[in-house]
Structure 1
Amino acid sequence: MPILTQSLSSFALLLALAWGLAALWIQAPGGSWWRLIWMALWTASVLAGLASMWIQHRYTVPARWVLAAAAMILAAWWISLTPSAQRDWADDVARSLSGRVQGSIVTLHNIRNFDWRSDTDYTVRWQDASYDLDTLQSVDMALSYWMGPAIAHTLVSFGFTDGRHLAFSVEIRKERHESFSTIGGFFKQFERNIIAAEERDILYVRAGPRGEQLSLYPIQMPQAAMRQLFLAYVDSANRLADSPQFYNTVTANCTTLVYDMVRPIVPGLPMDIRLILSGYLPEYLYRHGGLDTSQPLAALRAQADITQRAAQAGPGADFSQRIRQPALIPK
């Protein structure tokens, strides 16, 4: 075997080793000790296969068969991991959103409207409500920064002429004992969930109890496109309620799934690294006409920062109005 081919094959095996170890550590059944055993067996199989590429020995062929068998078992186990709608869910993702469309009226079931006193102290409240899409008048993008300037959680909020605002969020559907893990999101640790919530719930908890930096950007979008995007959320929620899916940190996250919904509405919208590094989404939207380009982006960023207003507003009934009051920006 040529040296270049051996080197590339060896590199591929090392990547497979790393992937398998991460998958087994996060998902293998049986507790920590069994996980370590499965990881050790996978490591031994890969190293044996790796050695067989470089050392000619009478055990070369058996070692490759061992590696092939281990890879097939690992792949079969991975494929067998399927999403479920029946787990001991955390309170804030315990219910699945669903909706019914009748003409311009959309009736949503299981809208979240918690009263948050802290991240662990809250009053659970789920409600149903109807919205008339003929009265839809605004779309805002909220970015909640929780891990530096490059990473933000993306939410989309719809405003109606009666003063109501409803925010949609694509999130992990974590179990009661779980917390978010970026690595776990690559390895089928979490199901995917779409939350529809009152802004006084879903925006307040991030700026207030969780202490995240929160920005709110008005999106330039025709009313017909707003309507299509709202319906796309409802359709996605209904499909998730019928057929659970896994969350993925890169391919099926809070931003890429919104992009998937927007792309049919705005043809030609390009893929971009900022769909992954969602903290930089304002630059992407500004470049493609999604934000008010009559102002510099720096001014829009300053206006969009509602962290202090949202935290001080508290979860009151007038929360949506208070966070949209003009901020006093130093000259």
Structure 2
Amino acid sequence: MDGTIALMLVQDGVTTGAIYALLALAIVLVFTVTRIIFVPQGEFISFGALTLSQLQQGTAPSIVWLLVGFGGLAAIFELVEALRHRRFSAVPRILGWNVGLPVLLAFLAIWLAPLKLGLGVEIVLSLALVAPLGPYLYRIVFQPLAESSVLVLLIAAMAVHVALTGFGLLFFGAEGSRTEAFSDAMFNVGPAMITGQSIAVVAVSFVLMLGLYLIFERTMIGKALRATAVNRLGARLVGISTSLSGRTVFLIAALLGGLSGILIGPLTTVYYDTGFLIGLKGFVAAIIGGLISYPIAAVAAILIGILESISSFWASAFKEVIVFTAIIPFLIWRSLRAGPAEDEE
């Protein structure tokens, strides 16, 4: 392997690692705020890429029916709770967010899809269809289990993963799709050639990570999420709604997952179940960060991307094995550092 090939492999590794970093940040964020190991993160990757692919083909995206269905179920849960506590004034808001918004987005998608209004509009519309699935999913599945143990929440997350994979097959079919590239530009940097698509992926990922940092450091909602992550009971005592915090982080996670799918769509063919394996690599980075450290998880994701790229060159048949084996030394190290576990009463 000469220097040119090495630079190409590092470029590919940094590009995919930037996407893994977004997924790792989403997984860490969801876990710190809600204690949920968000296994279904990968499904939003597939949903985002396949929704954009259908819009680029000029067909109405199938995900609108999943969005309307999830919104309707969330509305039923919210209405039952509101009527039980006699909060009749909340009914219009519940219907507007859980029924009106999905129906409006579905109408816009069906109306605008044949017009092919360009990549920018199609990306925004794809994210608008995918992102609300996160809060609806939290309300339907995880909010009733919010006080359960981490193991129960993990089992529920696995069940959601299986269900979303089935929905992906039902609504998108078994055929894979690849979306159009953001840019066809090519740049020569010394002996290496950098594609405009790679630059776009890294730039968008960096801007998103910087934006998340500013949100958590400078805004009230970011500070509320940090407070919930530090102490859920304390957050409730000072008036922070942990349910709202959960819906917010699920919205962010779904948005990051959908955008990751849109970013990776031009680089590889995406199937209904492709996102699970990609999400697992983000999960490996999150585990290396201890499910609490955003910077370590982001750096680990970049290194995992480079390791995967180099492994695909030297031993392509074993690249997945090599990537997932890399987590073992960190698990052993953390196990040795941790003290003895106390039995719960």
TM bucket normalised to smaller: under 0.3
TM-score by length of 1: 0.22
TM-score by length of 2: 0.21
Greater gyration radius: 1
Higher relative contact order (CA 8 A, sep 6+): 2
Q: Which has the higher strand share?
A: 1
Q: Which has the higher helix share?
A: 2
